[in-house]
Amino acid sequence: MALNQAYSQYNNSRILTASPAELTLMLYEGAIKFCNIAIMAIEKNDIMKAHTYIVKTERIIEEFQATLNHKYPVAEEFDKVYTYVYDRLVEANIKKDKEILEEVLKHLRTMRDTWKEVMRITHNGTANMPQ
């Protein structure tokens, strides 16, 4: 029990002290984790758990869309990608389709890896790069 509390405190501290770039990376990691959990739930025919974790993934995608900075032209392209991923998540949730979730997972991993590269190039996002 104490270990769980210590881990929770560590995570809270990590979030509170993270840069915007690090928070974005954490959200990508969370979306990947939730998508994986949803896939495993579908494999076990746990429909409610699959639904819960697909919705959690959808919420992260919605957050990405809501925080896009549209003063940068690239935001429009990100918006299209996020809309596509979100629509696929909705379809996967309706059908409880593992293959669609695996496709979404590939997109999420690509976006996360791209974001990691942006962080590396800009020294952890300090060069004022758009999301």
State the CATH architecture for 20-121: Up-down Bundle (1.20)
Enumerate the domain spans of the chain. Answer: 20-121
pLDDT at position 92, please?
98
36 burial level (CB within 10 Å; 0-12, 13-18, 19+)? middle
pTM for the model stands at: 0.84
In the chain (131 residues long), the average pLDDT of successive 10-residue segments reads 63 73 96 98 98 98 96 94 98 98 98 94 66 51
pLDDT score of 62: 98
Residue type (1 letter), 25: L
